[in-house]
Amino acid sequence: DSGVTQTPKHLITATGQRVTLRCSPRSGDLSVYWYQQSLDQGLQFLIQYYNGEERAKGNILERFSAQQFPDLHSELNLSSLELGDSALYFCASSAGDTLTYEQYFGPGTRLTVT
């Protein structure tokens, strides 16, 4: 158990809808990262937050947005969903703000768009 929690575990929704994925980092970690993993693909980095501020951006679509709250939990919002958004979404956390710190991954949220 990495100490990173993600909810919900599974999510099934229809095209065009909007969903919110939630992540709580390990106790004491200030950075949160979001990743997308499509079926049999590698992880794609989406975005990083450190202590409430956006720190780095990867291949995140404009339909996706994220934020980190004062209690350090983070939410990833996915809107106008398309079939291709079906994937595993992982959250990771680390102690520091740079990518040199080890990342600890949560169990993931499996999103299915029908």
Which has the closest alpha carbon to 79: 65, 59, 60, 58? 65
Give the bridge partners for 57, in sequence order. 47
38 binds another protein (CB under 8 A): no
43 binds another protein (CB under 8 A): yes
The CA distance from 25 to 17, in Å, is: 26
Structure tokens at 78: 């996915």
**Region of 11-19, 36-44, 67-75, 76-84 interacting with another protein (CB under 8 A):** 36-44
The CA distance from 82 to 33, in Å, is: 22
The CA distance from 69 to 84, in Å, is: 28
**Region of 20-28, 42-50, 65-73, 75-83 interacting with another protein (CB under 8 A):** 42-50
In the complex with another protein, which residue's Cβ is closer, 64 or 104? 104
Among 46, 106, 111, 113, the residue binding another protein under the rule CB under 8 A is 106
Q: Is 83 helix (H, G, I), strand (E, B) or coil?
A: helix
Among 25, 46, 108, 113, the residue binding another protein under the rule CB under 8 A is 108
Among 53, 54, 82, 102, the residue binding another protein under the rule CB under 8 A is 102
Which has the closest alpha carbon to 66: 49, 89, 50? 49
Among 24, 76, 104, 111, the residue binding another protein under the rule CB under 8 A is 104
41 binds another protein (CB under 8 A): yes
